[in-house]
Structure 1
Amino acid sequence: MVWLDSGLGRRELAQFLRSRRERINPEQVGLPVGPRRRTAGLRREEVAVLAGLSPTWYCYLEQGRKIRPSSEVLDSLARVLLLSEDERRYMHMLAHGQVAEPQPLDTGFPPEDIIRQLVRTTGIGQYPVYALNLSADVIAWNHATTEWYADFGALDPAERNMVRWMFTDPTARIRFADWESDAQDIVARLRTVPARRPHDARLARLVVEMKRLSAEFRLWWEEHDVIEQRSRLRTLCHPTLGNRTMRLVVVYPSDTDSYMVAYHLPAGPNDTL
């Protein structure tokens, strides 16, 4: 259930909008400040007009009435109320339980650099650590990844994609003890991305390419199976180290939702690194 469906959620959104409205100086949005003005910040009617809304409807929203604003309305309010990206996301989460069209957060440090450093500093052990974008392009990996998967550094940059490698490189079918299960799993995980990024051109090109290159990918993609990212066991096969079952855990750094880091951990609580 979306939190807005509860009275608590509606009150929280109403209070948040009111607090943001009251902090805006009218001059910030091009409105004159007359000598008789007593309202702190903007008036409700002013917010409504600037956002292209009915004053009565916006008043209901600030009163916590049982109405549901669209994503477009929320973004219009975010523009008028000069919300930061964090505040805009928060408002969307209150109203819909998810963020519509998330924008990159400005941390002063490129997200891809953060991801590369994260892999570099945490991937010093014997277990694979690699980083992907949402289209499964491999952007960073540790030495253990080259042992258990492939040396992505030796591949052409256009081929450094986990999905492409799994379906087109014969080595992949050797490295996975149960290739079919893991391949179906990665297709089902990839299936969730278009719902969050419907306009992702890179993902669209990848799907078209993979449907052309692999009949198995085409079959499983059209089956529409969906699996959210969650930990799972994966057994990898090494020519000299033998078979090893690991727990695959995917994490998303807080500064960006466009990249993920895949960690391989001991399969059981009694296993050691």
Structure 2
Amino acid sequence: MSGDDWNRQELARFLRSRRGRVSPEQVGLPTGGHRRTKGLRREEVAVLAGLSPTWYTYLEQGRDIRPSTQVLDSLARVLGLTEDERRYMHTLAHGQVANPQPLEPELAAGEVMRGLVELMRGHEFPVYATNIYCDMLAWNPAATEWYDDWGAMPQEQRNFLRWVLLSPLARDRLPDWEEDTRDLVARWRSEVARWPGDERMQARIAEFAKASPAFTRFWREHDVQEHRALTRVINHPRLGARKLRIILLLSPDEPKVGAVIHYPMDA
């Protein structure tokens, strides 16, 4: 059995199991009369989700059909799925999660990663939290030493990509400035694709394009790079040039925020 076949069969089994745990009264259906089916019937799920009963039956049979993200979210609503279950269903159907939602909506944006940065306050190399717009949300003292004094900047200018593109200090701190900047833009392009229709993201693209000819040039090249670990040479004002490895940590709790951690190559 191929991977795709297994995923379709697993999705079918998963839907059947979730359907069986939802009672008619939970979704406002009458409960009178004898019901041979535990939980909801297939046709009831289909009607509540706005689907053809035949099409939904095919889905539960593991046939080779491709449910859209909207259909999956509609099924998640009808079946009362948790966010983890909804993500699992999307992964089975499409190999990735669509429209990830914070698992802890009561948390302030960036709280988890801010806490991680604070925990690593004494780390001798940069650690900072940034969002999908490249805004600097939190940083340790080493990030100030190795890059710039983010706290001294107006809040609207505390943006890592903006700093790299526009600050004269960035070209001093990053001896491979052109290569590093092209890489940053390529990584950001892959992030932008994950949030289609985000007006703030589109406004940020327009802002960078207006302010930086280099950004416009790199953006038009359409290079794409995923957020894998990388190495970067940074000129520390006292220690000189050091090659650091950089990793990005992400949490399902905060899909729009990540923590960036630096450590020396010989660590």
Structure 2 length-normalised TM: 0.96
Q: SS state of the match for residue 12, structure 1?
A: helix
Q: 1:146 is aligned with what amino acid? A: T
Paired residue for 2:263?
265
Paired residue for 1:141?
139
Q: Deviations over 1:166-206 (max 9, x none)?
A: 11111111000111111111000010122110122222111
Q: Which among 155, 162, 184 is matched to residue 153 of structure 2?
A: 155
Percent of residue pairs identical: 53
Q: 1:26 is aligned with what amino acid? A: P
Structure-1 separation of matches of 2:111 and 2:72? 31
Q: 1:5 to 1:49 in 2, by over 3 A?
A: farther
Structure 1 stretches of at least 4 aligned residues deviating more than 4 Å after TM superposition: none
Cα pair 2:145 2:236 within 8 Å, conserved: yes
Q: Which among 203, 219, 222 is matched to residue 220 of structure 2?
A: 222
In angstroms, what is the RMSD of aligned CA positions?
Answer: 1.6
Show structure 1 runs of 5+ residues with no match. none
Structure-1 separation of matches of 2:105 and 2:50? 32
- The answer to whether residue 76 in structure 2 is matched with residue 78 in structure 1 is yes
Structure-2 separation of matches of 1:75 and 1:15? 17
Cα pair 2:102 2:252 within 8 Å, conserved: no
1:238 deviates by 2.0
Structure 1 length-normalised TM: 0.94
Structure-1 separation of matches of 2:66 and 2:219? 34
Q: 2:162 is aligned with what amino acid? A: R
Show structure 2 runs of 5+ residues with no match. none
Paired residue for 2:237?
239
Structure-2 separation of matches of 1:122 and 1:169? 26
1:108 deviates by 4.3
Q: SS state of the match for residue 208, structure 2?
A: helix
Which deviates the most, 129-138 or 3-12?
Answer: 3-12
- Count of aligned positions: 267
Q: 2:88 is aligned with what amino acid? A: Y
Q: SS state of the match for residue 257, structure 1?
A: strand
Alignment of 1:1-273 (within 5 A): 6-106=4-104, 108-267=106-265, 271-272=266-267
